[in-house]
Amino acid sequence: AQSVTQLDSQVPVFEEAPVELRCNYSSSVSVYLFWYVQYPNQGLQLLLKYLSGSTLVKGINGFEAEFNKSQTSFHLRKPSVHISDTAEYFCAVPGGGSQGNLIFGKGTKLSVKP
Amino acid sequence: AAGVIQSPRHLIKEKRETATLKCYPIPRHDTVYWYQQGPGQDPQFLISFYEKMQSDKGSIPDRFSAQQFSDYHSELNMSSLELGDSALYFCASSPVVALGNIQYFGAGTRLSVL
């Protein structure tokens, strides 16, 4: 079964600093990977996705992620964070279902401080 | 742009009561997914529907049932509520039935069981 592991439950950073949120996956089949963001008291919003092609994926709000097959990683990065990036970030992969239900990591809470 | 609509946004019930959560997918999306997110937890897949037929089941208790109607809206029915059912329930919809499809999430229904 596919799964993802998010290595950090909380990441505190100062505004305008770079950030990397780590995600490792395990899969024996074709890999599709997603990053979703959940702002306080809101639903999940897709940040970016990797389906195939270029290993560097750019998403919304200045985020990007790099698919690394040899390290089975899909880390999320942003060169300069803002207060408004404070949220919980989830890495996800399709589960075993035929309709592509998602399996999420445990999430990483990003706290951006002034 | 239209989004996934969930109602109600908040629901308070007592133990052993029943609850019905509703989800209205984005127009022309024929696949609906339900997820449960417990406090401080990652979202867990419950069940999905494609073209009004149940397609996949995840960790959905037998006390819960769901269906998708002819207008593609979906309802999650929860009976004999337990304290542990207190969670945020998300609905997501997708226009494509395939691995790697993008799921669009609603804002969720927060269920509190007292």
**pLDDT tens per residue across span B39-72:** 888 999 999 998 889 888 888 999 999 999 999 9
A39-66: burial string, b at 16+ Cβ within 10 Å, e else? eeeebbebbbbbbeeeeebebeeebbbb
More confident residue, A31 or A18: A18
Look up residue A78 and give its two tokens. Answer: 């942003």
Pairing of strands A64-68, A56-58: antiparallel
pLDDT at A1 over 70: no
Nearest to B56 among A32, A36, A99 (CB): A99
CB-CB contact of A8 with A22 (8 Å): yes
Least confident of A10-19, A28-37, B27-36: A28-37
Under DSSP, is residue A104 helix (H, G, I), strand (E, B) or coil? strand
Among candidate residues B48, B25, B112, B91, the one with its CA nearest the CA of residue A44: B91
Among candidate residues B22, B17, B18, the one with its CA nearest the CA of residue B7: B22
Nearest chain A Cα distance for residue B86, angstroms? 15
Q: Among A36-40, A50-54, B1-5, which range has the highest average pLDDT?
A: A36-40
Q: How far apart are CA A31 and CA A102, in angstroms?
A: 13
Over chain B, what is the mean pLDDT? Answer: 92
Nearest chain A Cα distance for residue B43, angstroms? 6
The residues, any chain, with a CB within 8 Å of residue B43's CB and separated by 6 or more, are A44, A90, A102, A104, B35, B36, B37, B90
* Interface test mutation site (partner B, options A98, A101, A109, max chain B beta carbons within 10 A): A101
Average pLDDT over residues A28-42: 85
For A16, the enclosing helix (H) or strand (E) is: none
Nearest chain A Cα distance for residue B78, angstroms? 21
Nearest to B100 among A51, A90, A98 (CB): A51
CB within 8 Å: B100 and A32: yes
Under DSSP, is residue A95 helix (H, G, I), strand (E, B) or coil? coil
Q: How far apart are CA B78 and CA B112, in angstroms?
A: 12
* Interface test mutation site (partner B, options A99, A106, A109, max chain B beta carbons within 10 A): A99
**pLDDT at res. A28:** 64
The residues, any chain, with a CB within 8 Å of residue B68's CB and separated by 6 or more, are B32, B49, B52, B53, B54, B74
**pLDDT at res. B62:** 94
CB within 8 Å: A97 and B42: no
